[in-house]
Every structure is written in C-alpha cells, then in structure tokens.
Structure 1
Amino acid sequence: MSTLLEVSGVSVTFDGFRAINNLSIQIGEPELRAVIGPNGAGKTTFMDIVTGKTRPDQGRVLWGEKSVSLLRMSESEIARAGIGRKFQKPTVFEAQTVRENLAMALKNPRGPFDVLFSRGLDDADSRIHGLADEIGLRDHLSRPAGELSHGQKQWLEIGMLLAQDPRLLLVDEPAAGMTPTERQHTTDLLKRAAETRAVVVVEHDMEFVRRLNCKVTVLHEGSVLAEGSLDHVTGDQRVIDVYLGR
C-alpha cells in the first residue's frame, strides 16, 4: 500500500486558539481509516485543510506519487486532483431524480467528438446503473431525490462523489440519523469503496466504527493521541481519559 496523503507537522490557530497542533497523519491507497475524538479535537479542521478550505500556519500536506503540495492548490484544483468530501448533511438536488443527480456528477469526457458521436451516452448510462447498484438505489433511479429517506439521500451523495472517481473520499459522520439497516448498508458501501481508493470516515458512533473494522486515528487538541485497531485505541488509558470516559 503506497502513501496517498501525507500531512506533516501541520498547525492552525484561529483567534489565539490552536485548532490543529503539529498534526502528522498518513493515509494509504487503498485504505479505510476512521478518525475519532472528542468535540474540538480538530477532525473537521483536518478535513478543511486537506480540501483547501483552511490554510495551515505551518506544515506540509503532500498528495500522490509525486508528493504534490496541496497547500499551493485552490479548493477546485484539489477536487479535480481526486479528493472528494461528503459533509454531514446530505446535499442532493431534491427536485431532480436519482438518475439525474448521478448524471450531473459523472466525470465523463466532454470533448467535441464525444458529443458529436454521442459515444459518451451509452457509457454514462451503464456507469449510472453501476453506481446505482453500488449504492443500493437501482430501483429508485426515476424517483425525485427529495422523496428518498435520510439514509438513501446519504447513499446518493456518496454515489455522486464516487461518480467523480476520487482517489480519496472524506466522509463526515455518515451514520448519523440512520436506521440500523441503513447503517449496515452504509458500512458495506464504504468498505467496498475502500477496496479501490482511500476512504477516511470521521465518526462518533463507536459501534459503527467497530463495523468498519479498520485502522483508527484518535485526535485530541489538534494532534494524534493514538492510532491502531479500535481495540488498541479504546484500551489506551489516555483515550479513555479524554474521550471514552466522558
């Protein structure tokens, strides 16, 4: 497994408060990683830095085989480089159908010859059906997204991100507000996605993290407190003191 993302010695201060403090973290490809920690631990800020929304005061954020600096890139350039992010609240086009949502998200060639010969249409259609299968919405392609359950909207948004074929997918609290059945499906979906790319899941729900069965990074006060299997980190007295014991 090669290193896809390397965050090294990164710090960020907001109005005198150090939100990220000398943070170093490496994500491989492919890999499934869970990031946990108490509120204010720096989980969201970590994702903001990787996606270019927040600029750190110091440190390096390197991407891909050529170790390109993400700190020199805009948010849109970072997204085009292959980093996708899913926020906690699903953002889908509610008036559009599931099919239309997936079609709008597709990363397909828009060259004059593709348009001229409509070569892309068949490819796009099979890709949409493949994505719908993957996220479990094959039977809902013609439904407006606004009619979907909360869990189904979350899957649709994940599908829309997968349509862009990211190498790294950042997912914020996917299990929140889901039924037990929806949570199980979400677990399966994320595990499958991580077979071919890097998937980082920020989550509070320990049972959900256990189901992911992956390496866990615990953040506290903006830096890594512990890292390893869930059993390893939940057995760490420092983690118990600052997070689990609350």
Structure 2
Amino acid sequence: MSALLEVSGVSKSFDGFKAIDNLSFSVAEPELRAIIGPNGAGKTTFMDLVTGKTRPDTGSIRYGELSRDLTKLSEAQIARAGIGRKFQKPTVFEDQTVFENLSMALASPRSPWTVLTRRPSMEVRAGEVAERVGLTAHLARRAGVLSHGQKQWLEIGMLLAQEPRLLLVDEPAAGMTSAERERTTEMLVEAAKEHAVVVIEHDMEFVRRLNCRVTVLHEGRALAEGSLDHVCADPRVIDVYLGRPETEGETADA
C-alpha cells in the first residue's frame, strides 16, 4: 500500500500554545487508522490542518499520487480532491428526507445537462449508499426524526456519496447504543476496504473492535503507533492517557 496522505514535520501554534509539534504521519490507501489521545493532544487540529480549515506554521501535507501540497489549497479544493470529514455532531439537513440528503451529497458533474438527466442514476446510487449505511428502510423519512445513531450513519453515507479517497471521522461512536456501535464498526471496516479511513475516538472498546493500526497523539506529537495492544502496553501511553480517567467527548481539543 502506498501513502495517500503524508504529513511531514508539521507544527501549529495558537497564541504561544503548540497544538501540533513536528508531527509526521502517513495513511495508506486503502487503510483503516484510529487516532487516540488525551484531550488537548491535537487530534482536532490535525483534522483541521488536513482539511484546510487552518494552516500549519511549518511542515508539509502531501496528498495523492501527485503529492499535492494541501497547505496551498482552499477547503473547497481539498474537498474536491477527495477528502471528506465527518464532525462529532451530525450535520445533516433535518427537514429533508434521507434520500434527499444522500442525493444532494452524490458526487456528480454539475453541468446543466447532468442535472437534468441524472435522476434515474441518482436514485439508484442513493439507494446503494443507503444500503451501505443501513438506512434503506428510512429513505422517505425526514432526517430530523432519525435516532442519533442513524443521523451519524446518514452523515457517513453523505460522505461516501461524495466518493472520497480519504474519510476523516470524528468520534462516530459517541452517544450510540451498543448495537449502533457494532453496526458502525462494520460500516467503517467495510468502507476501509476501498478508502483510507481515519477515525478519532475515545471509546477504547470501539477502537478494539476496529482492529486496525492505532496512532496515539500527545501534546501534538505521535507518541506511539501500532496495534491497540501494542500502544496500550507502552508505559508512556499508560502515563499520559490510560492511567487517568477520560472525560466523555472532547470539547476543547486544540
């Protein structure tokens, strides 16, 4: 597997606080990767840097076979290049149906001709995506009446509909039931057969079920990397992350 995303020596400070400190990180295609770490470790800033929401002070972020420098692209250009992001709180169009949400997200040329002629194909594709995220029976329902877990799945479906090469998924298991977490695990594992999928998560049991390579961030640096058992046995990880209770969620991760 070749690297799809290559982060090299990236640093980012906010008002003197170094949120990312000389971080180097790579993701292959396809691959499933989990990122864990204490609050303030830099996980959200990492996602902000990759998606162009913020710019690094130093270092490079290269993407794709042409090694495009993401630091020189806008957020819209990065999204069009095939990088999708799911935030912790679902951001779906609640007054629209599941079908309408998926249809609006579908990757398609935006010429007048394709808009006029693509509906049959659009219906088929929206149905295929709905099946992938377990929402086939809910296509006609308004997104606002879905459960929290179903809204999370819909947003994942909206990302998949855009046909990204890299998906960044922030705490997908937060607020889910046990059954929903299990279904979400299956969904992400299946997606990672075709895409690069990076999951930020606090739920260690959920990360264990993903059964993937894990990167531990601490103070903006990659502290450890490997299987979950490997990183959990690292004394440094135990000291800074596993050795003390974690709060639910992550509200102020710089």
| Structure-2-length-normalised TM-score | 0.95
Secondary structure in structure 2 of the residue aligned to 1:76: helix
Q: Which residue does 1:20 correspond to in 2? A: 20
Secondary structure in structure 2 of the residue aligned to 1:48: helix
Q: Which residue does 1:127 correspond to in 2? A: 125
Q: Deviations over 1:51-98 (max 9, x none)?
A: 001111100100000111000000110000000000000000101100
| Moved >6 Å (runs of 4+) | none
Q: What 5-or-longer segments of structure 2 have no aligned partner?
A: 245-254
Offset at residue 14 of structure 1 (A) = 0.5
Q: Which amino acid in the other structure matches residue 18 of structure 1?
A: K
Please tell me the root mean square deviation across aligned C-alpha atoms, in Å.
Answer: 0.8
Offset at residue 2 of structure 1 (A) = 1.1
Report how many residues are paired.
244
Q: State how far apart, in whole Å, the 1-side matches of 2:35 and 2:202 are.
A: 9
Q: Which residue does 1:149 correspond to in 2? A: 147
Corresponding residue to 2:159 among 135, 158, 161: 161
Offset at residue 43 of structure 1 (A) = 0.3
Q: State how far apart, in whole Å, the 2-side matches of 1:165 and 1:16 are.
A: 38
Secondary structure in structure 1 of the residue aligned to 2:54: coil
Q: Percent identity?
A: 71
Q: State how far apart, in whole Å, the 2-side matches of 1:195 and 1:108 are.
A: 22
Q: Which residue does 1:85 correspond to in 2? A: 85
Q: Which amino acid in the other structure matches residue 233 of structure 1?
A: V
Q: Which residue does 1:184 correspond to in 2? A: 182
The answer to whether the 8 Å contact 1:108/1:124 transfers is no
Q: State how far apart, in whole Å, the 1-side matches of 2:241 and 2:142 are.
A: 40
Q: Deviations over 1:122-174 (max 9, x none)?
A: 21111011001000000000000000000000000000011100000000000
Offset at residue 108 of structure 1 (A) = 1.4
Q: State how far apart, in whole Å, the 1-side matches of 2:100 and 2:46 are.
A: 32
Offset at residue 111 of structure 1 (A) = 2.9
Q: What 5-or-longer segments of structure 1 have no aligned partner?
A: none
Q: Which residue does 2:105 correspond to in 1? A: 105
| Structure-1-length-normalised TM-score | 0.98
Q: State how far apart, in whole Å, the 2-side matches of 1:179 and 1:114 are.
A: 40
